[in-house]
């Protein structure tokens, strides 16, 4: 390990040999992920009332409408901190939900992605607009019990639905680190030499200190979710009232 915390320098052939050995483990990890995905596709499903109401840009609509005519729906249940301004909104949801930008590939697979916010429609859609997100946005505030039952609402669940005609079924849900597929930033950082720079990571001795120790929120800087700062710098209005 060098004094700068960088890895040791070696010749290209030796480096490639190390990388080839690691690649075998990476491929095994990928195959294990494929096997898990295959197991998910074989899970049973549970019926959900397709008429459960949501509130969107056209007012009150049934859950079925959130499919936008497609066969499947991926719904992120964005948390909402009632009574807080933009700076006080959920940094985790801002981080994860804000990275879902290009929907055309999902649509080409007959899948709709939508945010079902746990708060009221008007202030939360203003937050969506401040963040310059363009994903479909609904309030599920009055239907959380019907949609989620007794499962935790924090961290926000990501829920997967399929429809058969006018009937709707829930096929899978996840939360916590299961949300990481929403965040390609993590996958990219995991492949850098210093990783995520968070305190929990297994780092070689001598690497730079974590930018976010265990007792510091890695999704918030100077009192705001990290992704908000570029919007503030651009002069965007973050008023929710």
Q: The domain spanning residue 110 has which CATH number?
A: 3.40.30.10
What is the extent of the structural domain holding 134? 46-181+220-228
The 3-state DSSP class for residue 187 equals helix
Contacts of 161 (CB under 8 A, 6+ apart): 48, 63, 67, 72, 73, 74, 75, 168, 169, 170, 171
Region 177-205 average pLDDT: 95
Region 188-208 average pLDDT: 94
Is 66 among the domain residues? yes
Is 177 among the domain residues? yes
Region 105-124 average pLDDT: 98
- What percentage of the chain has pLDDT greater than the value 70? 99
Region 75-99 average pLDDT: 97
Residue at token pair 């490639």:
16
Region 183-205 average pLDDT: 95
Is 150 among the domain residues? yes
- Number of domains present in the structure of the chain: 1
- pLDDT of 205-219, one tens digit each? 999 999 999 999 999
Q: So what's the pLDDT on residue 100?
A: 95
Q: So what's the pLDDT on residue 82?
A: 95
- pLDDT of 145-185, one tens digit each? 999 999 999 999 999 999 999 999 999 999 999 999 999 99
- Which residues is 132 bridged to in the sheet? none
Is 237 among the domain residues? no
The single-letter DSSP state of residue 176 is G
Region 34-58 average pLDDT: 98
Is 132 among the domain residues? yes
Before 51, cis peptide (omega within 30)? no
Q: So what's the pLDDT on residue 4?
A: 73
Q: So what's the pLDDT on residue 1?
A: 46
Q: So what's the pLDDT on residue 199?
A: 94
Q: So what's the pLDDT on residue 65?
A: 98
Are β-strands 158-164 and 72-76 bridged in parallel, bridged antiparallel, or unpaired? antiparallel
Determine the Cα–Cα distance for residues 121 and 116; give it in Å rounded to an integer: 10
Is 111 among the domain residues? yes
Give the pair of three-digit tokens for residue 148. 């989620």
Is 20 among the domain residues? no
Q: So what's the pLDDT on residue 3?
A: 57
Is 38 among the domain residues? no
Other C-beta atoms closer than 10 Å to the C-beta of 180 total 14
């Amino acid at each position: 390990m060098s004094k700068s915390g960088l890895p040791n320098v070696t010749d290209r052939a030796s480096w490639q040999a190390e990388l080839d050995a690691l690649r075998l483990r990476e491929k095994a990890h990928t195959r294990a992920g494929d096997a898990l995905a295959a197991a998910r596709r074989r899970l049973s499903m549970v019926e959900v009332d397709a008429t459960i109401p949501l509130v969107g840009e056209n007012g009150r609509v049934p859950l079925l409408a959130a499919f936008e005519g497609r066969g499947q729906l991926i719904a992120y249940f964005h948390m909402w901190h009632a009574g807080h301004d933009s700076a006080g909104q959920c940094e985790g949801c801002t981080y994860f939900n804000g990275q879902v930008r290009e929907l055309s590939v999902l649509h080409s697979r007959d899948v709709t992605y939508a945010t079902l916010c746990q708060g009221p429609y008007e202030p939360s859609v203003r937050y969506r607009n401040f963040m310059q997100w363009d994903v479909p946005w609904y309030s599920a505030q009055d239907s959380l019990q019907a949609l989620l039952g007794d499962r935790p609402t924090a961290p926000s669940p990501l829920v997967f639905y399929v429809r058969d005609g006018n009937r709707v079924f829930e096929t899978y849900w996840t939360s916590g680190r299961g949300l990481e597929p929403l965040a390609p930033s993590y996958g990219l950082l995991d492949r850098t030499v210093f990783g995520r720079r968070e305190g929990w990571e297994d780092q070689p001795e001598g690497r730079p200190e974590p930018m976010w120790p265990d007792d510091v929120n890695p999704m918030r800087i100077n009192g705001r979710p990290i992704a908000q700062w570029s919007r503030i710098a651009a002069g965007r209005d973050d008023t929710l009232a």
